[in-house]
Amino acid sequence: MTPTVYVIDDDDFVRSWAIEVAGALGYRALGYASAEAFLDSPRQDRPACMVLDLKLGGMSGIDLLHQLVSLGRSIPAVAYSGKADVTSAVSLMESGAMTLIEKPCSVETLAAAINSALEQDQRRLAVESTLATLHDSNESLSERERVVLERLLAGKLNKAIARELDVSERTIEGDRARLYKKFEVNSVAELAVKSTQLQLLIEQQQSPASPTLTSLPQPNLGTNGVGQQDGLIG
């Protein structure tokens, strides 16, 4: 499913420019002139990120991010502002934003930030999918299968497990085969690897990267106030 980039900016020109950048990267890009319009719009559960101006009319960009967090609908955000500062960076970090870009912003900088934000959201969806699969597998386990799984991951052999549970070794072999099938693995080693990888993914998802502050050179301005350097927007 093609990732989506939501561009939220009340400046028509900047919004159109950011949509064009996202589209050139091959992403589905949707624009909104206000935070309120974005909140009222339906969204699909696909990899996504936001590109938004902090100084929106009405609800601000930071207020939007905090509201999304409170609603449990937060997604990685690339925020930009004409005057980025430490206070804004801290507030953005608390609301889950990834990057704070200071205007004027180059095409390359915005493109890199969008790609990074979408990679983070793709990892989130991968974790959720893996968790759902393991949850379904775990829910289908019998009480004895859970005990056998725990002992297998502890490195115990079938014979030892059978003795501890006072059942035949053949019974444990059957439990082990069902565990492999339910978790879609072929060995205890694969069970252990999947468990370790899942834990790492969960930890990574729970500790998102702190937002970065990108400061770019100011463009040369012509008499009409429009940036003369290629690929810059302010």
CA dist 174 to 66, 118, 150, 170, 181, Å?
51, 43, 15, 6, 11
**Residue range 125-166, pLDDT digits in tens:** 877 777 677 667 767 888 888 889 888 888 899 999 999 999
pLDDT value of residue 210: 43
The predicted structure's pLDDT at residue 105: 81
Contact 57, 65 (CB under 8 A): no
pLDDT of residue 221: 27
Q: Which architecture characterizes domain 4-124+209-233 according to CATH?
A: 3-Layer(aba) Sandwich (3.40)
pLDDT score of 184: 84
For the record, the structure tokens of 51 come out as 């590109």
In this prediction, residue 207 carries a pLDDT of 55
What predicted TM-score, i.e. pTM, was given to this entire model?
Answer: 0.63
Q: Name the token pair of 68.
A: 């999304």
Domains of the chain, residue spans: 4-124+209-233, 129-203
Q: ∠ CA 205-210-216 to the nearest 5 degrees?
A: 135
CA 132/CA 198 separation, integer angstroms? 11
Residue 66 has a pLDDT of 82
pLDDT by 10s per residue, the chain, length 234: 899 999 999 999 999 999 999 999 999 999 999 999 999 988 777 789 999 988 888 898 888 888 887 887 778 889 887 765 555 666 666 555 667 887 778 899 999 999 999 998 888 787 777 767 766 776 788 888 888 988 888 889 999 999 999 999 999 999 999 988 888 889 988 888 776 766 665 565 555 444 444 432 232 323 333 333 345 445
Q: Token pair for residue 6?
A: 């939501």
H or E stretch at 122: helix 107-139
Q: CB of 206 within 8 A of CB of 77? A: no
Is 1.10.10.10 the CATH classification of the domain at 129-203? yes
Give me the pLDDT at residue 141, please: 80
Spatial contact of 220 and 230, defined as CB atoms under 8 Å apart: no
Q: Specify the amino acid at residue 180.
A: Y
Structure tokens at 114: 């969008």
Report the DSSP pairing between strands 232-233 and 105-106: antiparallel
Q: Which residues touch 32 (CB under 8 Å, ≥6 apart)?
A: 6, 7, 8, 15, 38, 41
